[in-house]
Copies of this chain bind each other. A is one copy, B any other.
């Protein structure tokens, strides 16, 4: 076989290969750990509160989470995001969105929110959605999209309750593993 044929083959293979679409990666192509801090308005903490109950089932009110696993409460939040578990650390952005307690048999919420990051490290948004059964040690939700530094990204976020104080404060640790990075 001559060099000519070899090069012909080379370019044929090259063309075939380069027309192949996408390689899926089971190792995260990007990885991020964020903490966010939620202080629910209870009628007496207006200055510190970062979230508020805005809908409740019949018979409940907007300053106390409802009975029966808070079923039916819609909470809106605008929580500071930090890189470690300290509420006083310099925030790198906000977690903005809502959760709706949607179980009558356990504590579980439907989560929909966006990390709006704005720091020297990251500039962009990460949008997440999924089910959050809050009593489980870890739970996975979907990263459905992103913008800026996270343009078109997708992935999985693993959530842990890092701390909580009664029904007023909780802190979540969110480990975001992107598997589609662009």
Chain A residues with a Cβ under 8 A of chain B: 1-3, 5-6, 9-10, 12-14, 16-26, 41, 43, 50, 52-58, 61-63, 71-74, 76-78, 94, 96-98, 100-105, 108, 110, 112-114, 116, 125, 127, 129-131, 133, 140-148, 151-152, 154-156, 179-180, 182
Contacts and interface: CB of A to CB of B under 8 A. Distances in A.
A98 B98 CA distance: 12
Contact of A142 (B10, B55, B145): B145
Contacts of A98: 100, 102, 110
B130 A110 contact: no
Contacts of A62: 57-58
A145 B145 CA distance: 10
A142 to B, nearest CB: 3
Given A24-B21, A145-B144, A3 B1 contact: yes
Given A1-B1, A9-B6, A110-B112, A55 B57 contact: no
Contacts of A58: 41, 43, 52-53, 61-63
